[in-house]
Amino acid sequence: MFTISNLSKLASRFPRNSKSHYGFCTSILTPRNIVYSDVVQVYADESGSFLNLPGRTISIDPRQSISEFKESTLQQYPDIKYIKAFDEKIVEYSETAPAFLLLKENFLLKINEEWYSIIAETENPLFNVKQDHNVRDKTVFKLFEDSGHTMRHTATLGKFISSLMTDISENAHTQVDSHIIKTIVDKNLFERSIEAKAQIEIIDMKLAFLRKKLASFEELRTSVENKLAFKAKKRLRWFSTFLFAQVLAVQYGTYAAFSWDVMEPITNLMGILDVIIAYSFWMTTNKSYSYHNIGQNYIESRRHKAYKKADFDEEEYEECKKLITLLETQKSLLSPKIDDLLRALQLLDKQKAVGDEEDD
């Protein structure tokens, strides 16, 4: 249990204004100055982690440094002149920083003159808390983990305590009492709210880009679906014409050209042919033989080919919708409204349930 006394002692063990030992360098850019070329998510499989950028699949080996990651990417794609990695505050990662940092938090890649926003694959966006990667923070987080706290408690309490320790170390010349602690707590809570507001602004920028991208996908998808629906109706009219022609042929052969004695076996064969067609349709589609199902089967059987012909990427479309849901959940989790928070937690439960079903 943390008390004022042992918190002060723990804070005094670390130097004031300690910097990251990974040597980040700052940038004059701001998130509002950036125009995204795309927003993608980090994926992982047995071979490792990778990014599906337009026309490129970039692998991230956590054992490499940022410099080695850049070199391997440049070798794989000679058309890339340069590549830089930034966090969401537009602070560039040092060349010597380990590449696994890119898998811990959202980040930005600048490839040539194009900016890509990368969303890390985290267990829970509510607790995707960025650490400053210094000795003090690692000690605090390790202390909470060793004490048996959950990932949620470790992330939220760890960062909060780490911030308190920073302020206490900066005020080591004064007597640390309950009044000082209360003032520091109020200050840190205020800073957390400002940080949450800044994160919401960044999320809004990503959502605006993704919604615009999704709108273009929806427009193209609607156009393809309308063309397929028109062709399906056209083929249903042909099918109806075929059935009507059978009826006319039977009537003409029975009462005009021939007699029923001649047309009876022909009519029987026509009936058997229709039964074979209906049974074959049911066997191949597992659907009842009806006009609606015939039309839907035509659309479904030709949808993928039509999408490919129209340059409609189904996987990218689904990923875009998934990212929008993820970012909306993150935004709700940062909202000061309790209704938004509860709604976001429900979405997280649904996403987890879907993920468990896919794993099974």
Q: Which helix (H) or strand (E) holds 66?
A: helix 66-76
How far apart CA 218 and CA 50 sit, in angstroms, is: 27
Q: 43, 40, 44: which is closest to 114 by C-alpha?
A: 40
Domains annotated on the chain, with CATH: 4-16+128-211 (no CATH), 31-123 (3.10.20), 212-359 (no CATH)
Helix (H, G, I), strand (E, B) or coil at 59: strand
Place of tokens 């009219």: 237
With a CB cutoff of 8 Å and minimum separation 6, the contacts of 347 are 325, 328, 329, 332
171-210 pLDDT, tens digit each: 666 666 677 777 777 777 777 777 778 888 888 999 999 9
Least confident of 2-6, 93-97, 251-255: 2-6
- Per-residue pLDDT at 360: 57
Lowest mean pLDDT among 29-33, 106-110, 237-241: 29-33
pLDDT of residue 144: 66
Distance of CA 335 to the CA centre of its chain: 20
Looking at residue 201, what is its pLDDT?
A: 85
Whole-angstrom distance, CA of residue 107 vs CA of residue 127: 16
* Paired tokens of 90: 């537009």
C-alpha to C-alpha distance for 308 and 279, rounded to whole angstroms: 31
238 pLDDT above the threshold of 70: yes
**pLDDT score of 126 more than 90:** no
Give the tens place of pLDDT for each residue, 208-234: 999 999 999 999 999 999 999 999 999
Give the model's pLDDT for residue 226.
Answer: 94
Q: Which of 43-47, 322-326, 349-353 has the highest mean pLDDT?
A: 322-326
Most confident stretch, 8-17, 119-128, 228-237, 327-336: 228-237
Residue type, 35: V
pLDDT at 2 (0 to 100): 45
Average pLDDT over residues 52-58: 87
Q: What is the mean pLDDT of residues 246-255?
A: 88
Query: β-pairing, 114-119 with 36-45?
Result: parallel
What is d(CA 253, CA 255) in angstroms, rounded to the nearest whole number? 6
How far apart CA 360 and CA 354 sit, in angstroms, is 10
Quote the tokens at residue 4. 């004022």
pLDDT category at 154 given cuts 50, 70, 90 is low
Provide the whole-model pTM: 0.65
Burial class (CB in 10 A: 0-12, 13-18, 19+), 354: exposed
Residue 207 pLDDT: 92
Q: Which is more confidently placed, 43 or 80? A: 80
pLDDT category of residue 17 using cuts at 50, 70 and 90: very low
Report the distance separating Cα 312 and Cα 221, nearest Å. 7
Q: Are 46 and 206 in contact (CB under 8 A)?
A: no
32's tokens: 């509002």
Residue 39 near residue 202 (C-beta atoms within 8 A):
no
Can you tell me the distance from the alpha carbon of 271 to that of 180, in angstroms, rounded to the nearest whole number? 93
Q: What confidence score (pLDDT) does residue 229 get?
A: 92
- Look at residue 342 and tell me whether its pLDDT is greater than 70: no
pLDDT on residue 24: 44
Mean pLDDT, the chain, as a whole number? 78
